[in-house]
Structure 1
């Protein structure tokens, strides 16, 4: 018997560090319950480089195979199912060059309920926080301009005073496709473009989706060849994408001690118009204590793996429970919901249960660090940047330290020049520090991460 399969959806991991933007150091692994769901739905999945592709068996009408003619079974039978995946570290060095702050007992939670569709990216991360004034920002913090959507990363610890501070390069660095390691070049007719290549045309950025030779600018409008990426704004994982994790019991911390705790555990309601975690998944409990307590133990081991809301008195805490989650290497989880209506850009199927083939995305930000060059003796005098970034370095003792953090990249900055106290000797380009050797550099009441390199001159 010949079985036909159709691409159902894909999960794409991107990273600013890499010149091709493909993140190779993470595995996407279906959870045990997802593997069972795959078998029931006649599905198969495979990861190739940074992309996980899910295929599903089809019928003669090219619908999911469980549909029969005009009778659509998929949403009716599987609308309340979730495809769950682990995002696992293949190489811990990933955390060296990624601007993430993993927190103990938390994991990253990515979902097609993120409602963060921008520039044709179906982001699985929640929208970034908007920039506000009168707030203390730490280096590495990501914010979004609420008007333009442009994303910025804090270069220094500072109290925000006015909106125009975002234009101060000492305080903020703009992020997005125009600011990656390789500048985006203008469109060239007659050039052979490969999938993933970026071009600019009339103040817009476009990404090639297949190999082709570009004949003219009008071809950019053909979705078979190009995807419009707007002006290149991106979205990234932050602390707002993290959730408390438990593999058994969970301790809820209360704002003040109590003698009695009313406990409810709520699951997802799968309501297309009013989705929420408001469905009781176990009987309410009441715990009494002889002495006031500020922490209440809640048992979760009777539940299926997934996300829940725990309510203790008036305190509500979202928690991700999974007794099978592998320890140590799992960075986060991905949940792909089936209930979304067809007009939702994140939906797997149209209302007629035809394939939409969504390509979901997670875009990881590269880490910015101070660059520190330690000179051999006092003959080395200055480091200058002749490129468009115009990075500056201060000499403190025997160390040249960049005035702002510089993004780590697979690419190389070839515009740094080391000058000596004799005018007839200069060294250019200066080698770049690696993302393997880090130290701390204290400046302006903050311990910056610093990438060091010892010079032999």
Structure 2
């Protein structure tokens, strides 16, 4: 008797450091139309449950009933359902809807026992200007968050505690994951009028793991200086590409099946021999059932506790991590504090009376505060004790 059942092909989990349990509930995950058709042909099923997407495939003795071919691509869209997401997430809050985050298991980003679908956080570079909230990694994969500005004129290494705060060794979503979304035919605008367009589009090269595979190479001559022209990318399969026009390069995402509102992110899962992160089955076609992770870092803000008029107080952190400065009836953190829906170990003392626990910052409301030349997001917490 043949035992046929469904076994996990892969799982994608969404994590967020804002939540006490780290589980991110902020997205709806749906497959593309092409992926739905491919799933039916491979006797696959996908189901989102809370923060995870489960993909299963009909199997016999741990092997897929229908072979999972090398190069198979499955595409999923992340649709954001929480309007407060950017308030407590360490990403730019001025999100450009013509851009899209792109996650894939082609990214080799395995650290801390997890396979991350985001690109690795860029290593610290003393020639780069960093602003509060920017992140950089050391040589061991540990991520740090900038708490003060630094630049090539006054570089501050990750060991400078007044400028950087250590986060941990997870692979967080970062600006490198953000691509320009391009329609199959779109208007390309030059910064200055041009008489021709030298176009180069490079796709993924499976032999090298780099985007060096020529996909489009052509030159368009115009009758005179032209400010823009129609760029035709309709021959490209859905995916990530490097686009260069007259020497200007940018990373793009193309998908002719995406119409209407652009989703927050695309997740591409491939089955391939290389890199190892794309191995959904081994050399004997046995299912490996990998778990992939997408991890969002929480935003950090200055916390300003506002006491009733006429009252003074102090705040202490029993863990010794954060310090506060008292001024009149305001008590403000000396450095940004990561937002969290878990209570922190702060003790408030008003006129000699201690209070604990005390409210944490609410991500629904921000102001701004300038400190040592930097402008920070500031969370005001009003105390009525």
Q: Same fold (TM over 0.5)?
A: yes
1:20-419 equivalence runs, <5 A: 20-58=21-59, 60-67=60-67, 74-75=68-69, 79-101=70-92, 102-146=95-139, 148-159=140-151, 161=154, 165-176=157-168, 233-252=169-188, 257-269=193-205, 271-273=206-208, 275-280=210-215, 284-293=217-226, 295-301=228-234, 303-325=236-258, 330-341=263-274, 344-380=276-312, 382-396=313-327, 398-419=329-350
Which deviations, in whole Å up to 9, do the C-alpha atoms of 1:296-332 show, x marking residues without a partner? 4312345443223334344443311224436557221
**More deviation, 429-438/360-369:** 429-438
Q: Distance in 2 between matches of 1:257 and 1:41?
A: 50
Structure 2 residue 380 is matched with structure 1 residue 452: yes
* Partner residue, 1:9: 10
Which deviations, in whole Å up to 9, do the C-alpha atoms of 1:248-282 show, x marking residues without a partner? 4344455764311133444444x34555342436x
Higher strand share: 2
1:294 CA displacement: 5.5
Structure 1: stretches of 5+ with no match in the other structure: 68-73, 177-232
- Asked whether the 8 Å contact 2:319–2:345 carries over to 1, the reply is no
- Asked whether the 8 Å contact 2:3–2:61 carries over to 1, the reply is no
Q: Distance in 1 between matches of 2:219 and 2:345?
A: 66
- Asked whether the 8 Å contact 2:197–2:220 carries over to 1, the reply is yes
- Asked whether the 8 Å contact 1:384–1:391 carries over to 2, the reply is no
1:29 CA displacement: 1.2
Q: Distance in 1 between matches of 2:184 and 2:330?
A: 50
* Partner residue, 1:225: none
1:34 CA displacement: 1.0
The alignment covers a number of residue pairs equal to 381
- Tell me the SS of whatever aligns to 2:278: coil
1:121 CA displacement: 0.7
Q: Distance in 1 between matches of 2:262 and 2:232?
A: 25
Structure 2: stretches of 5+ with no match in the other structure: none
